[in-house]
Amino acid sequence: MAISGSLRLSIFFISCLIATFLCPSSAIPDVNSPELATQVCKNTTNFSFCQAAVYSDPRAPKADRYLLSYVVFGLAYRNATNTSNYIDILLKSMNGHADPEIMEAMKKCQGDYMEAIKTLSEALTDLDSETFDGLVELATDVENSAHDCEAGFNGKSPISEKNQNLIQLSNICYVVSELYTVSE
Ligand SMILES: *[C@@H]1O[C@H](CO)[C@@H](O)[C@H](O)[C@H]1NC(C)=O
Ligand SMILES: *[C@@H]1O[C@H](CO)[C@@H](O)[C@H](O)[C@H]1NC(C)=O
Ligand SMILES: *[C@@H]1O[C@H](CO)[C@@H](O)[C@H](O)[C@H]1NC(C)=O
Ligand SMILES: *[C@@H]1O[C@H](CO)[C@@H](O)[C@H](O)[C@H]1NC(C)=O
């Protein structure tokens, strides 16, 4: 019947209208444009690592590139600081009882991590002053510090996992930093 047909149509449109106004847009997933954080993770060397790290921060889902920069450089900064403290403790406990080569390499790592922390705090200061053009290089420098530390052990690194964490975190920083280099 024509009347019930148009009535059904009206109810349909009214329902759509109500849904549009009442439902927060975040409740409707947009499959065509995933969150920036997820898009970034797709461009990193390890998607699952990146997702776990970035989404540990509650700001990640709604973050634009600026907020996301704070999230990822902050993660790397805290991670490097934590590992640096760990290296200090390890060095004290090894004093005198460890393989001298491991001891030497660990001392070098202490310097590498101090360098990484310095670089990361420079990146965070750059973000504060909205200076974005050096971020790609800073992210690369941090990754290199972790590689340098790892290389010093000639394959016998006792902190391989921690170096891998910083390498992968700085790779995320790198991908986010690249978002500022795209010319528009
Ligand atoms: C991911 O990489 C592609 C190809 O290099 C680039 O065009 C795109 O902007 C990048 N997207 C993000 C979110 O990093
Ligand atoms: C990626 O990260 C996950 C966990 O974070 C780890 O188990 C896996 O080994 C990593 N893959 C590569 C290729 O590094
Ligand atoms: C360092 O990064 C790894 C990988 O994301 C994480 O499991 C670990 O909890 C982090 N440590 C700190 C202190 O952030
Ligand atoms: C590293 O961080 C973990 C928690 O993420 C903490 O339990 C641990 O004490 C920290 N280690 C150092 C050496 O700071």
CATH number, residue 127: 1.20.140.40
Residue 7 has pLDDT above 50, yes or no: yes
Q: Let me know if residue 19 belongs to a domain.
A: no
Residue 38 has pLDDT above 80, yes or no: yes
Which domain does 104 fall in, by range?
36-183
10 — pLDDT class (breaks 50, 70, 90): low
Q: Let me know if residue 24 belongs to a domain.
A: no
Q: What is the mean pLDDT of residues 69-98?
A: 95
Report pLDDT for 96: 76
Report pLDDT for 23: 45
Q: Which atom of ligand 2 is nearest to the CA of 49?
A: 5
What's the structural domain count of the chain?
A: 1
Q: Let me know if residue 18 belongs to a domain.
A: no
The rounded distance, in Å, linking the Cα atoms of 114 and 118 is 6
Ligand found nearest the CA of 85:
4
The rounded distance, in Å, linking the Cα atoms of 98 and 87 is 14
14 — pLDDT class (breaks 50, 70, 90): very low
Assign residue 96 a region (left: φ > 0; alpha: ψ between -120 and 50; beta: otherwise). Answer: left
Return the residue whose CA atom lies nearest to atom 1 of ligand 1.
43
Report pLDDT for 97: 85
4 — pLDDT class (breaks 50, 70, 90): low
Tokens of 63: 């973050």
Q: Let me know if residue 14 belongs to a domain.
A: no
Residue 178 has pLDDT above 80, yes or no: yes
18 — pLDDT class (breaks 50, 70, 90): very low
Q: Which atom of ligand 4 is nearest to the CA of 88?
A: 13
Site to substitute for ligand 4 among 82, 90, 109, most atoms within 8 A of C-beta: 82
Report pLDDT for 25: 47
Q: Let me know if residue 162 belongs to a domain.
A: yes
Q: Which atom of ligand 4 is nearest to the CA of 85?
A: 13
Mean pLDDT of all residues in the chain? 88
Is residue 108 a contact partner of residue 149, using CB atoms and an 8 Å limit? yes
Q: Let me know if residue 166 belongs to a domain.
A: yes
Q: How far is the CA of 47 from the centre of ligand 4 (A)?
A: 25
Ligand found nearest the CA of 165:
3
Contacts of 72 (CB under 8 A, 6+ apart): 53, 54, 169, 172, 173, 176
Q: Let me know if residue 27 belongs to a domain.
A: no
Q: How far is the CA of 76 from the centre of ligand 1 (A)?
A: 21
Q: Let me know if residue 23 belongs to a domain.
A: no
Report pLDDT digits (tens) over 109-157.
999 999 999 999 999 999 999 999 999 999 999 999 999 999 999 999 9
Ligand found nearest the CA of 79:
3
Q: To which H or E segment does residue 116 belong?
A: helix 100-128
Is residue 138 a contact partner of residue 112, using CB atoms and an 8 Å limit? no
Query: Is 95 close to ligand 2, i.e. is its CB under 6 Å away?
Result: no
